[in-house]
Amino acid sequence: MMTSPPDAADLRPSTPAADRKTLTHLLVLLTLWLCTYGFSIFQPPLMDDADTIHAEAAREMVLRGDWVTLYADGIRYLEKAPFLYWMTAASYTVFGVHDWSTRLPMALAALALMLLVYRLGRRIYGGDGGFYAALAAGLAIGPYIYTRFLIPDLLVGVWLVVTFGLFLHSLRGEVPSRWACWGIAAASAANVLSKGLIGLVFPVGVICFYLLLTGNVRRLWRMHIVSSLLVFLALGAPWHILAAIQNPPVGQSKGFLWFYFVNEHFLRYIGERYPKDYDKVPLLVFWALTIVWMFPWAAFLPQALREAPWRFRARRNGTSGNGLDERQRANLVFGLWALLIVAFFSFSTRQEYYTLPALPALALLLGGWMQREDASAPDSAERRSGRISSLVLAVIGVLAFATGMLLLAESKTSAAGADLADLLKKNPEDYQLSFGHIFDLTPRALGVFRVPLLGVSLAMLLGTLLNWWYRRKNEAAKANFTLATMAAILLLCIHTAFSTFSPILSSQKLAAAITQRLQPGDVIVIDGEYKVGSSVNFYTQQQVHILNARSGNLWFGSYWPDAPAIFEDDNSFAALWNGPHRIYLWTDKAAPPQLASETIYTLAESGGKFIFTNQPVR
């Protein structure tokens, strides 16, 4: 059997200078990661909704010792793949349950993404290309924002880097490497365990499209399909089988297989999933956000996307499809990778962050173009287009600075100790979107964000102008590092603003007030769906009751025979309130209608949310 020849870059002997440069790249990447992702794992508190729902599921996984069936608030939580919860539960097992131990796994995933992108980019484009690609992958806005709470989408991107790196390796010889094909299968299985069936759809789709478009479909049958399928099933099937066995159809419940595959995959994709607790981002906004998530590197996306040899048909060479050299093959794979993900979700119930797994592909294309620009002659087309894009970015930076200064001038100073919630305008109709709360901001509220707003404004002005200046002087390497520095400052400002906004997004302060007084027999009740106050459950580590909202995250599991009796209506809640035990009611209403005729005491208030109790507060 023929084996794959080594890549030409692998044949070059390592030199002390090259080793030092690689070490420098790695140290810079590690330092930037520590200053951004590493620094931010300690604060702010975890948020209500997905953040603490997923954290609570991991905490209960450790508590129950059940690593198959997820539980949240004591109720089966069957809608998600388990890998994220395994990571978080492992962190809890080693370090205990803390905010930082909750965020640590995803911060490490971001580091893994940077290093994997660096390794793959270095192999395809050389050291500088890999370095630029890693900077774009790790210091873009999108990956950072969507690791501020506990969702698995970045993991999908990590596994796709592994998958397509192995696929490109398998293209080197006439017969694909068996180990590369098995690695693709293993990475795809890990992806399925991270995010469900899209972990298989994206690798298979990109690989099949690539082989089809390069006239090389026959190669698919040489990719050790049978043994690779066995590897995939050996790693990906056991959890699904065990989950189906532990959660069969019982009573009103249709069982794990229906809920997970039909309701959470197919019905969610076409917008018919029940319960519908999400909105759909408009298509043009969805596409535009893909560009925003790559900021500031997105200024060079037009050049980067042209790196892919889209006129691939003219490059065919018989049945092997090897008319493309390795760089062209890689660029085509990366282009198809990004395009397929954006196209796939364009027809689904879109959320703002669904294109996150496409961003590593864009980062790699960007790294390749930046390396080519850096190595080109001063009067080359690459240098000219780089200067044009940097000028456009500089204009954006100047406009951003002017806008920031205007907002700072319009912002109002708030009284010391003022609750941020009192300065906002609530728009609950937008809260199903992950960024819905941004529409709450008012000039009065902006006064609270003056420091990060000033930081963003200055960073945008200086960073974009210096980037343009260095590119005019044909010093692309300095320009790219200037962008990286600017991006790191932007991420730190985002973190500062996020921490300031956290009382609106988290109920941690309210949970702390309850914990100080909690006694055996006390009952905590959330007025509304579990997700709106889920951080109370996580931080008190007490099961909470739900008032008039048997829906949302706990809907499916609530119909299981072993579901605890935690769902209250007005009558049962009135009986609790007038009973012998202290009741803590979490609510976002200053005057809950259920308590209109009752004696109530205010225990705590924060972020527009309240804790009322039925007994005097001492």
Q: What's the pLDDT score for residue 314? A: 40
More confident residue, 506 or 434: 506
Residue 502 has pLDDT above 70, yes or no: yes
Give how far the C-alpha of residue 591 lies from the chain's centroid of Cα atoms, to the nearest Å.
Answer: 36
pLDDT the model gives residue 206? 97
Residue 549 pLDDT grade (very low, low, confident, very high; cuts 50, 70, 90): confident
Q: What is the pLDDT of residues 423-482, one digit of tens each?
A: 566 655 544 555 555 556 666 667 778 899 999 999 999 999 999 999 999 999 999 999
> What is the arithmetic mean of pLDDT over 36-50?
94
pLDDT of 341 higher than 50 = yes
φ, ψ for residue 293 (rounded to 5)? -65, -20
What per-residue confidence (pLDDT) applies to 320?
40
Beta strand pairing call for 567-568 and 544-547? parallel
The pLDDT of residue 281 is: 85
pLDDT(119) > 80: yes
Cα distances (Å, whole numbers) of residue 151 to 79, 84, 347: 13, 8, 21
Structure tokens at 68: 């198959």
CA distance 525 to 535: 13
Pick the closest to residue 490 from 525, 532, 458, 443 (CA basis): 458
Beta strands 583-587 and 523-527, pairing class: parallel
Residue 355 token pair: 């294109």
Report CA dihedral (52, 55, 59, 61) to the nearest 10 degrees: 120
576 secondary structure, DSSP code: H
Cα separation of 237 and 452, whole Å? 46
Terminal alpha carbon distance of the chain: 80
Q: What is the mean pLDDT of residues 325-331?
A: 92
pLDDT of residue 175: 87
Which pLDDT score is estimated for 250? 84
pLDDT score recorded for residue 550 = 85
Split at pLDDT 50, 70, 90, the class of 83 is very high
Mean confidence (pLDDT) of the chain? 89
Q: What pLDDT digit, counting tens, does each position of 150-170 carry?
A: 999 999 999 999 999 999 999
Given strand 583-587, what is the order of strands in its sheet? 567-568, 544-547, 523-527, 583-587, 609-613, 601-606
pLDDT digits (tens, 9 = 90+) for 567-610: 999 999 999 999 999 999 999 999 999 898 888 999 999 988 99
- Mean pLDDT of all residues in 4-11: 41
Q: Which residues contact 481 (CB under 8 A, 6 or more apart)?
A: none
Residue type at position 588: D
Nearest to 559 by CA among 277, 278, 258: 258
77 pLDDT above the threshold of 80: yes
Number of H helices, E strands in the chain: 24, 8
Is the predicted pLDDT of residue 556 greater than 50, yes or no?
yes
Question: Do 69 and 115 form a contact (C-beta atoms < 8 A)?
Answer: no
Q: DSSP state, 48?
A: T
Average pLDDT over residues 201-211: 95
Question: Phi, psi at residue 442, to the nearest 5°?
Answer: -130, 165
Whether cis (ω within 30° of 0) applies to the bond prior to 44 is yes
Query: How does pLDDT run across 584-593, given as a tens digit for each residue?
Result: 999 999 999 9
Instruction: Please report the pLDDT score of residue 478 as a whole number.
Output: 95
User: Nearest-5° angle of CA 3, CA 6, CA 7?
Assistant: 135
Q: What is the pLDDT of residue 1?
A: 33
pLDDT at 319: 37
Percentage of the chain exceeding pLDDT 90: 71
User: Quick one: residue 96, left, alpha or beta (phi over 0 = left, psi -120 to 50 = alpha)?
Assistant: left
Whole-number pLDDT of residue 13: 54
